[in-house]
Structure 1
Amino acid sequence: MLLSLTSGKLESDMRLILTLALSHLRRRRTQNALTIIGIAVGVMVLVTALSLTNGFTQSLIDATLRTIPHLALITREKEPSKALEAALKKDPNVVAFSSFAADKALITRPATQGLPAGVDFSTLLGVTPQESGILNLRPEEIKLISSLKDDEIVLGEVLSRAIGAFPGDEVRLLNSQYKRAILKVKGTFRSGYILIDQGYAFMSLDAIKKLNPDSPISYRVNLKDPLQARDFGYQIAREFQDYTPQPWQDINATLIEQMALQKRVIGIVVFLIVIVAAFGIANILILSVFEKTQEIAILRAMGTPEKWILQTFMLEGLILGAGGLILGNLLGLAVSYYFKLYPIRLPGDLYFISSLPVQIQAQDFVWVNIVSLATTLLAGFAAASKAARIEPAKVIR
């Protein structure tokens, strides 16, 4: 019986608080609408900006991993390690591995038919047919690279255009040991990451070794879970101490850190819009307090508890904030989905990728809504506490 009475009284109190809050909000419809729109715009821009940043970061990582393995095992050994290969074959975490050698070279296309010579520096990767399990390129590009002969080379697409060498052309190569070779361009590849497409070329491992017999033979490894590359690399290094692990996270550490910093900066800058809108809530509620001073004083004189007044204005702030958040989330999703269907085109030579994709992450929505709601509630509390401190005796007198 006592529990029923308590429950009924609580329900009655909440109904009265809701009635008062809605009554106040109806009297300033235009200002309330503008405040909700302000919050919605801030949330929409924040959600969209974070989604575009996520897509930009993921696109760069995906483009990088099309030609870079999850893990590189670097050594100074000049011959392949049968023991290491056996260990990699047995490990269930390993999807594929391939031995490789790397070198630097100057690649030149001779002047022909009145065309000037083309020349550029490149990183050479000498690979074996097993490289097909490492690369994440188009099938025809993987086939080209994994079937290279000793007198053939596959150029990055941007590198190919830079020196004017296309499939069927001959290029001259001068490696780091000043050894020369004439090679036929078998084809080109495109990872989508301009730094790779501009600076890499593939040759057969045997061709690299012929030009530089002292080139160390290292390994490129792909795993079932790329995020385990660092731990797996350390595990291999403990067993095979001649090999130094280079997980993709370390190879691209600068890029990943820059992207994370960029996301934080964008989040902070855009969140200022939400803060400005929250000040709008505080401004509206404080004006409401001044206008309703006598009403609040009468309610207090009639025995209305201070906490009711506090809860009434807090509820007003919550309604305005929640309205802005819901509208902002819907608009943010709509704009993000639009950019997903119609990606923003980018100049690849400036941004390393050709288009700006969108990646919506649930954790972004969670923290955007939590922080935005907390900000609007704080703004509401500023006005609510002022209303709750009104002394009815002074006002009525």
Structure 2
Amino acid sequence: MASKAAEVQAGGRAVRVSSPDRVIYEATDHTPDITKLMVAEYVASVEDGLMRALRDRPTALERWPSGVREGMKLATGQADRNADAFYQKRVPRGAPDYLETARITFPSGRAADEICPTEIAVPVWCAHMGTLTFHPWPVRRTADPDSLDRPDELRIDLDPQPGTSFTDAVRVAGVALDLLGELGLRGFVKTSGNRGVHIYVRIAPRWAFAEVRHAAIAFGRALEGRDDQVTTAWWKEERGERVFVDFNQNCRDRTIASAYSLRPLPGAPVSTPLPYAQLRELTDPRELNLTTVPALLADQGDAWAEIDDVAHSLEPLLELWEADPRELNFPPDHPKMPGEPPRVQPSKKVAEHWDQDGNRVDGPK
């Protein structure tokens, strides 16, 4: 017999949670079985940090309605219709009347009404719908009609490649924070919830997505020049055993797991903001999980509490871009962009098959 629905108190609202005893994460050596109700209660418990990350931002949902098990697959395209989990970029049916939306435009030109959290009851309801990870856009909905086209976050995604580790990403994050400081920018760091590290910089919402992406490329190149364990190479075969700065996380419709989001990995790890000194002492990011992060937040407060105090100018990074404005590849689902290199692995490229603009042409006759 299915368990009766439960309720979770969330900001003065009682949010219904169906199938509360469903196991979402199976027990590990460090965590017990984690149920759907526990996930919803976790979301409510990290309200201060989570809403700082989500409030007024169009947010895609990563839904795992049957829970997380080895071998389960996350759908990433139309061909994955039978996957166990999926990204929800439009408001699910049955949404409560207090849920607000924002209309966003994808690179294809298509538009959608996406969830725009304004209160903690919304993410708790999303947890009831099987959401584990929240993917907010780097924009905020305001009265300005252009606000959803003007990012207010620069996102630096440090992704350790095979042969490198979380410890390597943490060390590089320290170099990155120092470089940002020299440029007059303050970065805020968090674990990815897996092996990587994320650094966010709050910026004034004056620049378009393309300019923010160029700023990310420029920063990545500057970091690459300072540390030989860093790479901005888009093609995996060229990265080597280094930490990749994923500049394309700043493209339109590219999102990163929010602060305080759960990740679909054993042990229910959390993407957790930390002071860098504390991050530097962390040896295993799995220590930061659903069972430990609420107490950490309650005890220490949100490490990103001051992130909105200053909205920095992007000009120092755009000046670096102008000094070296070489375009890099966009993600494969984006339209081909002017100046973009050929979208083919370097090892498979035959020069005479490509024109100077990076477009495929007939090979030699």
Normalised to the residue count of structure 2, the TM-score between the two structures is 0.19
RCO comparison, higher one (Cα < 8 Å, 6+): 1
Structure of greater Rg: 1
TM-score using structure 1 length: 0.18
